[in-house]
Amino acid sequence: MDSIAILDFGSQTAQLIARRVREARVYSELFPWDAPPERVLALRPKGFILSGGPASVYDPGAPQVPAYVLESGLPVLGICYGMQALTHALGGKVAAAHKREYGHARLQILVDNPLLPPDTGQVWMSHGDRIETPPPGFIPLARTDNAPIAALGDLAAARFGVQFHPEVRHTPAGAEIIRRFVVDICAASPDWTPESIIEQSVARVREQVGEQRVLSAVSGGVDSSVATALVHRAVGEQLTAVFVDNGLMRAGEPLTVVETFRQHLGVQLRAVNAVEEFMEALAGVTDPEEKRRIIGEKFIRIFETQAREVGMPPFLVQGTIYPDVVESSAPDRAQAARIKTHHNVGGLPEEMHFELVEPLRYLFKDEVRAVGERLGLPPQIVWRQPFPGPGLAVRCLGEVTPERLAKLRAADRIVTEELSAAGLLRMTGDRRPGTDAPPPSSVSRPPPGTAQSFAVLLPVRSVGVMGDERTYQETVAIRAVTTDDFMTADWARLPHDLLARISTRIVNEVPGVNRVVYDITSKPPATIEWE
């Protein structure tokens, strides 16, 4: 399968470049700029993309374009800092701009070229340096009012640079620019489809597992469900799935998960009631990282117990996806800062008797959903809103107790009911049960709506008045976001009357809550979850 190698110079949007390449149905992988050459070249890429980054090329120790990239003779696209680093490496001149350029800019095409559509128009800039002199063989392709060379290229060598960011949605023509580079210029075949993902994943699992038995951790969410379905397709009866009711799920979910798995997947399923164990382990704990550590270790120990009962399979399936890896700062992406530990990435205990099987580790959420559809999973699983691995423990800020969890479940049920009634709870995509719309032939764009919405119980008490009496009770925060990829997100502009209904119902129906607030913070700077 053809592929593109993306070298990350520290950009906050490097993962988006990978997504845009994959949206063009070409496989891509993201590597640190200083990754060993043999590791990158093992991908056998058809071309290279150099990401942006915070450095200046004239800074001591600034990242440089690796020699093997230039020696390969393959097409190269530099984005922002990547363009400056490419220019610097090939003998051009980079200097500080007289005026920094951040935000929207209007691009003027200077020369017809294979990279930029004639009607590119608006682009998104974020830079303090600019190109003063192109390298030998390069010509300016476009400009803006502030950047005389906003794009350049060596058409004969198929090397290009753009000062703006085509990977962000603020550049409307960005997806087409990236498609032109990877498909037209690099001549990469657009065959990265759900079918090819399934085929490759099944082959890798069979190679890793062989004839041995496998245990799968399932939660009912799309990630663990698709991972389990993929492994089941690969190894069949060698797989046993385990669902652990940890007392941290939403109202009615444990029963729904068990029924759905047994009816739709045909997988051997063991259901374990471990509510008391988790509640005892979390008693008195308030730090979110400690909660995640405790939950991650408790899960593993329970799975070890289950494994012994079924003959101690050496492999454990988990639904780890790429955003989990990025936010947990996995060792293979040294550029990323740790945001928080995911129980299925960075929260696992050091001593573990399983080798992990993670068939979704480098897939984005929309790719996971497309694979789930191709595997025939029901819409209520494929389009279930994301739910954190530690469950309600990280939405119940402060100490986790059965009483506080009951409050949170009741409030969360009201949020779900009201958003669903308003048609704003995205669960089944842009199709509804019973329609004849065909599944997508490639990774599909998510439909409009709230991509994730939930209630958070805060350890904050405030004074209120109910029935002419003073109250001093806890606060519920409502979180609802829209997003394509869950790497960035914006708060949903819910109608005021809807928020009013939610607030009224929560205060009236949930004992111990007398105040409701709405979170209007985007990601970044916040994460989607509060802990």
Instruction: Return the exposure string of 316-330: e unless at least 16 CB atoms fall within 10 Å of the residue's CB, then b.
Output: bbbbbbbbbbbbbbb
Confidence grade of residue 99 (pLDDT, cut at 50, 70, 90): low
**Amino acid (one-letter) located at 33:** W
Backbone angles phi, psi at 122, to 5 degrees: -70, 135
**Amino acid (one-letter) located at 90:** L
Indicate the angle between helix axes 402-421 and 496-509, nearest 10 degrees.
150
Confidence grade of residue 114 (pLDDT, cut at 50, 70, 90): very high
Q: Which of 150, 160, 158, 15 is nearest to 73 (CA)?
A: 158
DSSP letters along 455-480, please? Answer: EEEEEEEEEEEETTEEEEEEEEEEEE
| Cα–Cα distance measured from residue 99 to residue 147, given in angstroms and rounded to the nearest whole number | 9
* pLDDT for the residue 447: 39
What single DSSP character describes residue 425?
B
Q: Which is catalytic among the residues 88, 101, 127, 165?
A: 165
| Cα–Cα distance measured from residue 50 to residue 133, given in angstroms and rounded to the nearest whole number | 19
The answer to whether 5 and 29 have CB atoms below 8 angstroms apart is yes
Report the range of poorest mean pLDDT among 62-71, 108-117, 347-356, 456-465.
347-356
| Cα–Cα distance measured from residue 524 to residue 522, given in angstroms and rounded to the nearest whole number | 6
| Cα–Cα distance measured from residue 352 to residue 364, given in angstroms and rounded to the nearest whole number | 27
| Cα–Cα distance measured from residue 478 to residue 504, given in angstroms and rounded to the nearest whole number | 13
Summarize the confidence of residues 172-179 as an average pLDDT.
96
- Angle at the Cα of 143 from the Cα atoms of 141 and 147, rounded to 5 degrees: 130
User: Domains of the chain by range and CATH?
Assistant: 3-185 (3.40.50.880), 194-382 (3.40.50.620), 395-518 (3.30.300.10)
Work out whether the CA dihedral 301, 302, 303, 306 comes out positive or negative: positive
Report the range of poorest mean pLDDT among 149-163, 234-248, 430-444.
430-444
Where do runs of H (alpha helix) occur along 273-333? 275-282, 288-309, 322-327
Q: Which of 45, 20, 49 is nearest to 33 (CA)?
A: 49
Confidence grade of residue 166 (pLDDT, cut at 50, 70, 90): very high
Report the range of poorest mean pLDDT among 175-179, 368-372, 433-437, 445-449.
433-437
Instruction: Give yes or no: 186 in active site.
Output: no
Summarize the confidence of residues 14-21 as an average pLDDT.
91
The answer to whether 364 and 320 have CB atoms below 8 angstroms apart is no
Tens digit of each residue's pLDDT (9 = 90 or more) over 254-271: 988 888 788 777 888 999
Tens digit of each residue's pLDDT (9 = 90 or more) over 268-321: 899 999 999 999 999 999 999 999 999 989 988 888 888 889 888 899 898 888
* Residue 113 pLDDT exceeds 80: yes
Cβ atoms < 10 Å from Cβ of 518: 15
Cβ atoms < 10 Å from Cβ of 399: 13
Q: Which of 256, 278, 258 is nearest to 267 (CA)?
A: 258
* Residue 222 pLDDT exceeds 90: no
Cβ atoms < 10 Å from Cβ of 61: 6
Summarize the confidence of residues 67-81 as an average pLDDT.
97
* pLDDT for the residue 289: 93
Summarize the confidence of residues 331-351 as an average pLDDT.
45
* pLDDT for the residue 348: 47
* pLDDT for the residue 282: 97
Confidence grade of residue 430 (pLDDT, cut at 50, 70, 90): very low
* Residue 405 pLDDT exceeds 90: yes
Q: Which is catalytic among the residues 88, 101, 127, 167?
A: 167
Work out whether the CA dihedral 506, 511, 514, 515 comes out positive or negative: negative
Q: Which residue has the higher pLDDT, 118 or 483?
A: 118
Confidence grade of residue 339 (pLDDT, cut at 50, 70, 90): very low
* Residue 138 pLDDT exceeds 80: yes
Summarize the confidence of residues 102-127 as an average pLDDT.
91
Quote the radius of gyration of the chain (alpha carbons, Å). 25
Structure tokens at 109: 């095409």
* pLDDT for the residue 100: 65
Asked whether the bond before 349 is cis by omega within 30 degrees of 0, the reply is no
* pLDDT for the residue 102: 72
What single DSSP character describes residue 220?
S
Q: Where are the beta strands (DSSP E) in 367-521?
A: 452-466, 469-482, 490-491, 513-518
- Angle at the Cα of 208 from the Cα atoms of 205 and 214, rounded to 5 degrees: 70
Indicate the angle between helix axes 288-309 and 275-282, nearest 10 degrees.
150
* pLDDT for the residue 384: 82
**Amino acid (one-letter) located at 478:** I
Q: Which is catalytic among the residues 80, 88, 101, 176?
A: 80
Summarize the confidence of residues 174-193 as an average pLDDT.
96
**Amino acid (one-letter) located at 20:** R
Backbone angles phi, psi at 254, to 5 degrees: -55, -45
Instruction: Give yes or no: 80 in active site.
Output: yes
